Amino acid sequence: MIRDAETHQILLHTIARFVREKLVPAEEEVASSDRIPPQILAEMKAIGLFGLTVPEEFGGFGLTMEEEVDVTFELTRASPAFRSIVGTNNGIGAQGIVIDGTPLQRSTYLPRLASGELIGSFALTEPGAGSDAASLVTSARRDKDEYVLNGTKRYITNAPEAGLFTVMARTGGPGAQGVSAFIVERERAGLTVGPADKKMGQRGAHTADVIFEDCRVPAANLIGEREGQGFKTAMKVLDKGRLTIAAACVGSATRMLEDTLAYTSQRKQFGQPVAEFQLVQALLADSQCELYAARAMVVDAARRRDKGEDVSLHASCCKLFASEACGRIADRCVQAFGGAGYISDYPIERFYRDVRLFRIYEGTSQIQQLIIGRGLVKQGSLVRV
């Protein structure tokens, strides 16, 4: 339930205008330079985009899940690079501290994350531990009042810009029970960020390796009441993150479909707009149906989470359906553009590459299928609708 509908609408209108007037015009510069212009980043901080989900007592907006997905629908009508840096900061970069951090950790770090002074990152994936996250080998050894971290994290979003990392490391035996979570500031000796990865798409949204070599962090930077709670923290964070990624799929698909409708309505062949041909209309119709379904799923799951329901399976359903639908919509839109859809002069070519990642990160489509299937068998009933 949105607490103040009028205030929320003002926020949405502000973000929609910012996207239309600032972010969309900057897309080409971001794609060609592989960086968000500093003045755009400063404006993003100024209007509070880095603190959307940080509680109000720490300087953020404290948005509910439903409010957050509404904002994401609007924000992702521009290049996914803009959402990536703020979404990671609001989501997996900060939520471990919000959910399971100590009072001191929250008061120390959340205000700086909310303002954008610190940019957050989430270091879970490793060269040998991607989908099988519980098999991570980065270690954290207790040494008096410190932990000593060793290992390498891979494909870490925001790593080149991040000032703060939530790091999953092994403090105990094998499996999920041996994983703990730590807050690690970038300036810690022994922490090195590798060069930014060269990716198929999402230029301007950076990932990189993060290497720990005898990196010492205070024992007070352990997230949770004791060792071994890190994997549970990670899964709580990822449930929320999967809903946000699903919302990003909806926003990107909305932009692609709007651009395609506009292009096919003015592009003429055989003496009439391409949009008047029935087979082109079929591409548009199938895309509209899937977009409608994905948006409805995400809103429903967000409302359930705000009510306190366990939405792990709902979140996986949303992530699976919305990301796969977004990929199909991207393909149809390129087809409707014809040869122009294969040319980089049009944003649809860039979006086609950008949205491919949605089906991979924060749990591949195949991992979502496993989560859903195993969850259904375990509980012996369907996901509640």
Residues assigned a catalytic role: 362
| Residue of 20, 41, 23, 39 lying closest to 31 (CA atoms) | 23
Instruction: Show the DSSP H helices in 227-339 as ranges.
Output: 230-266, 278-306, 312-337
81 conformational bin, left if phi > 0, alpha if psi -120 to 50, beta if neither: alpha
Query: What is each CA distance from 145 to 106, 138, 148, 220, in whole angstroms?
Result: 20, 19, 10, 8
Tokens of 221: 């930077």
What are the φ/ψ torsions at residue 2 (nearest 5 degrees)? -70, 130
Tokens of 182: 């730590």
Measured between its terminal Cα atoms, the distance across the chain in Å is 17
Measured CA to CA, the distance from residue 59 to residue 98 in angstroms comes to 13
Measured CA to CA, the distance from residue 99 to residue 122 in angstroms comes to 14
| Residue of 80, 120, 138 lying closest to 361 (CA atoms) | 80
Identify the burial level of 377 via C-beta atoms within 10 angstroms of its C-beta, where 0-12 means exposed, 13-18 middle and 19 or more buried.
exposed
Residues 100-126: b if buried by 16+ CB within 10 A, e if exposed: bbbeebbebbbbbbbbbebbbbbbbbb
Cβ-contact 287, 329 below 8 angstroms: yes
Q: ∠ at Cα 177 (359, 132), nearest 5°?
A: 25
Tokens of 35: 């960086």
| 3 state DSSP class of 312 | helix
Cβ-contact 113, 93 below 8 angstroms: yes
**Following CA atoms 293, 299, 305, 309 in sequence, which dihedral angle do they give, to the nearest 10 degrees?**
-50
| Amino acid identity, position 125 | T
Tokens of 346: 């049009």
Measured CA to CA, the distance from residue 17 to residue 338 in angstroms comes to 30
